[in-house]
Structure 1
Amino acid sequence: MMRAGHCGDGGTTGTDLPRRRLRSLFVSDLHLGTGAARAREFLEFLRATEAETIYLVGDIFDIWHPALLTWSPAHDAILTELAQRAAAGTRVVYLPGNHDAALRNFVGIGAQALIGGRFELHDSVTHVAADGRRYLVLHGDQCDARILRWHVMTRIGSRIDAGLRRFDRWLLRLLRRPAEQGAVEFLRRGLEALLLVGNRFETRLVALARSSGHEGVICGHFHRAALRDHDGATYANCGDWVDSLTALAELPDGSLQLMGWAALAAPTAETGRPADTGLGLPA
């Protein structure tokens, strides 16, 4: 069963929020190591949730441009939080993406490279939900259009994106305008949307899940949070922690639900369900 929308309890800071108990939590595209990473927000979100299993669905680290790495205490705190949970018995599963693809070299020989070997490391994995539904979990770059799988193309796109973000921040500071009003940000998102035109990744991912005996697919990569039905098969995208600040949760009954940091909503008195956050996530 799918439930589109956001869920949460209380306010919007880690100290205000009681921990939301989940069966599983799926997060992707933190891009730790870049200036675009929203590490503080993710750390706040993580500390407000509790899950039996945490899936890190790729591009958690961004290690494409070592010379440009940006690291902060919040980045360290995220790794410490995850390591502590793994040591306490939480299952933490790391599925590398295209920005941390070097970790795929360790798949099959253990996870010694990942915080003392406490994380599982897989290229893809089957998640069995509480209701028995089987989901294929992977980053999603495996089903990119062929031209977007060319390494040189993705590197160029990454540098253009980073350059536009830096220019946008500089321009906003110069004009003393709020971050959400950046004109360059609209251009960057437009270029991103243009790249996705004709890239039938969603159809390919659902087909891959079906062909391997799954009822759905859970991925990241595209920075577009989504929870949709494809003729009985589920397509779920975690979103990202650069722009949308979203994650995917499995509730105790096995249903899936999108969660958002920016507008965590308390249940309404009438329905007991989270109020509409107004973020416009796809149903």
Structure 2
Amino acid sequence: MEKDSTERVGANGDIFGHRLKQLTDEEKQRLENQNSRLIPEAKAAKLEREARRHWDIFYKRNETKFFRDRHWTTREFQELINFDPEQQIVYLELGCGVGNMVFPLVEEGFSNFYFYACDFSPRAVEFVKANKLYNESKMKAFTADLTTDDLFENIAEGCVDIASLIFVLSAIQPSSWPQVARVAFRALAPGGILLFRDYGRYDMAQLRFKPGHKIADNFYMRQDGTRSYYFTVEELEKLFTEAGFEILMNTYVQRRTVNFKEGVDVPRIFVQGKYRKPVTSS
């Protein structure tokens, strides 16, 4: 990623900037090779129909062991800590998985938060409810499909102060993104904030896909049948602006995943955003 006048370095070495990564000739060739064998339309349609089943199988196989708890969120999203401690905050995690974001907040003592946590996978929600930190007086976990309106069978519109959509939108069919953005907008109270993080365009994971895994431009099938999209900041700005949000932050995040023991040093690119529902929203 090239440096520009808006680039900054975070406390943990993450680099934030607005320019798209410039590809090497080798990386361009990798992307071109992916087009030699695309996933047929019939198979792509089947993946969409069976998306819930693939995620349920994923959680059956991995249980709570695959994703790490997200202890970085209070560092990256100051909205989680910059409030009057006497104020009651309603927090909604859209696509909670097994609670890797909610439970670290519980452990950090966010006693004035009431947590809603929903996921597409019933099995993931079962794992949330089985967690020793799950407290029905402070938390409600439930199954919801963000591409429909069924979220509002469990929460009232306009009741949420802070919502998060962390590594969720990339797993959803692109044609459904506007609906997901509208659902988040409707859930938030005026002035409420949506916190966002997901995979960025030309992330190493995207470049590593072999022929036979590409569904459409920048949209791929993993080996386990789950899917992943790789975003630009321009796509996200358009999506959330059209849903009614004000853009507070919308940037690429470049970092390195390093494991010295295993000799792993992988450059990663994410997108990160903070989007606000206007106070005067109708």
Scaled by the length of structure 2, what TM-score is found? Answer: 0.32
Which structure carries more strand by proportion?
A: 2
> Which TM-score applies when normalising by structure 1?
0.32
Larger RCO: 1 or 2 (CA < 8 Å, sep 6+): 1
